[in-house]
Structure 1
């Protein structure tokens, strides 16, 4: 695919080269040309990539008791469940239905707030959430900060879509990676060396001092978007919890010498590529989070960390094993008069079991990290049963 004219024009206006972070922001979020901004990407098993909510309602059904517990812990008459980057709106719709059905008294004082900066995705969410059992509105962190809410903020596969900076070893320096226009094609090139204050931040990540373990051309990602995002989220919430669910690695694994090209990946039509320059504006770009970077940015923004778990552990603590056990046989309504299950009922049963197993498969979604944070609360006084997913999984399950 030839280089899009809009991108070539922007690069020429910028002098032929921009930091990778700028490029990533353009190709994902530009309202006319970005993969998300223009609403090009489709989420689901038959779309560009699948997420846990797109596999069916099981994920939301397991998450709903934790959300309900957190909301019930908050001493406020009016509460909000805020989902940021809601994708197609599937998780928001599933949680609204689960909370309205399972906790009707809570639902009576609960609103659903969606934070979606891209008009193309917001249009899909409005269609998916038509007829929501909860009052529904779209807002931004900046608008909410004028009258901060009390409630729970959910960030499911959001922070990994924030534009990242990339660094590359060049000689005796870490340099910012640039996207450069050369004779009508895009190239990744090392740019200016990092400023001393930025380079100093690399030492806690294990990236300094430079040595032969990371040779010329070794590159990875930094996450400058985390601090402003977490600060804006904190300003929007007077009291409550934040749950981040995303791919994340500890710094020792993220920046391990053998991971010589970082974690950045491109996705389209269920295909994955390590080339972030493919068909700009048509592929999703995503990078793992660094756990230490998230925790540092969250603390600086005023969040208190409640704990973390891998998704497999969290969902086991929330009852996944019991749910799997309940799917061993079709419901009586799915059994024909002959005493054998109908093919439709059996197929649905197997599909639900497969979806649940994918949620905890370490090679699929089970290695996601759940990180929980609190704001405006005395964390030490929290009831021990409030953090359901933070309890150790039952070894018997």
Structure 2
């Protein structure tokens, strides 16, 4: 891969992480792209999510940063979960990957002012692997005291959680393996280091680092070895480990996942021959993951079919799958837009009304955030609880699993 045409080169300070990764590769040989991506995103003090100067929201927009409405409508759905489970006196809501803490702040403020009984039962937990982001969250949410706790997976006993795990744009940032088809065989893309004046990261092909890569496609029934030579894509094995953790920790309740992605048939279509891996920097997207190492986000789309199938095998029943725009409209976003128009007609602050209207429309954008997938899974419910209509998934078509 070559330089994607950026207007300037990385600064000397930005070279620290590439040089560190390069020294590791020189010492041990080529590494999987998943290992490279792990270092690029999470290397202490240097990875994209670990840098002290990370400008959250500077490189891309997320739903919680557009408007508090996203968190508030999410709270409406989770409140219904609590009600369906019989309003238990202890109900855990665990956010996985809380970013700057903005979503949690808006969510908690809304719940605290809307449902006193739910607030009394609520135990809000955050699972955040980035030490830097954890500090930002703790500063932002300090006013909530012991209502919010930061957790590690091993601190949560197996089968102990009654409540809801949720994530927004988490799974897309899990390190992925990259594979390529060559002459009817599946090969893995490794990251090597080239010496000399033109030195730097380079990709080399090798045998799959684990049989789990071929098993992944076999489970989906995708004959990837028959695809044309040169076909590339990604495999998110970390997502399978994550599902196993969720299934172990959850005793009774829900898992709600927001992310961008496709069904497996769309993701692994022969026409999508370069995969979905992208780098994000300063609201730009780039195909080269090796230019701004440590200063750019790296993501790959989510294979929702695998989340559903593997989840089912682990006892996580799929209750619904829809697009974010439908989910939010079902929970009242359209009514909020209509009410906002009325405020403008009655002479409210027109500038504020227009800004909020723009933000709400962005949440519904079918070419952007509105196209995100929303997957709901559950475990440990009674037959009558599983059958309860869910506000965010009211269309009967959306209860038939992953179809679009």
Common fold by TM > 0.5: yes
1:189 to partner: Cα distance: 2.1
* Residue ranges of structure 1 left out of the alignment (5+ in a row): none
CA spacing shift, 1:227–1:77, aligned 2, 3 Å = same
3-state SS of paired residue (1:166): strand
Counterpart selection for 1:62 from 73, 84, 108: 73
Take 1:270 and 1:195, find their aligned partners in 2: how far apart are those partners? 35
Counterpart selection for 1:11 from 18, 25, 31: 25
Contact 1:145 1:237 in 2 (8 A): no
Give the structure-2-normalised TM-score: 0.88
| Equivalent residue number for residue 278 of structure 2 | 265
1:126 to partner: Cα distance: 1.0
Which protein is richer in helix relative to its size?
2
What CA RMSD, in Å, does the superposition of the two structures yield over aligned residues?
Answer: 2.2
- Is it true that 1:304 corresponds to 2:317 in the alignment? yes
- Is it true that 1:201 corresponds to 2:220 in the alignment? no
Take 1:329 and 1:59, find their aligned partners in 2: how far apart are those partners? 20
Give the structure-1-normalised TM-score: 0.89
| Equivalent residue number for residue 162 of structure 2 | 150
| Equivalent residue number for residue 44 of structure 2 | 31
* Equivalence map 1:319-338=2 (5 Å): 319-330=332-343
CA distances 1:204-233 after superposition (whole Å, capped 9, x unpaired): 54641634xx43221001110112111112
* Equivalence map 1:179-328=2 (5 Å): 179-183=191-195, 184-193=199-208, 198-205=213-220, 207-208=222-223, 210-211=225-226, 214-328=227-341
| Equivalent residue number for residue 177 of structure 2 | 165
CA distances 1:224-271 after superposition (whole Å, capped 9, x unpaired): 011211111222222111100111201121111221111111111111
* Residue ranges of structure 2 left out of the alignment (5+ in a row): 1-9, 397-404
1:53 to partner: Cα distance: 0.3
Counterpart selection for 2:392 from 381, 386, 389: 389
Contact 1:304 1:379 in 2 (8 A): no
* Equivalence map 1:347-366=2 (5 Å): 347-366=351-370
- Greater Cα shift, 235-244 or 88-97: 235-244
1:197 to partner: Cα distance: 6.2
CA spacing shift, 1:330–1:30, aligned 2, 3 Å = same
Counterpart selection for 1:107 from 107, 119, 124: 119
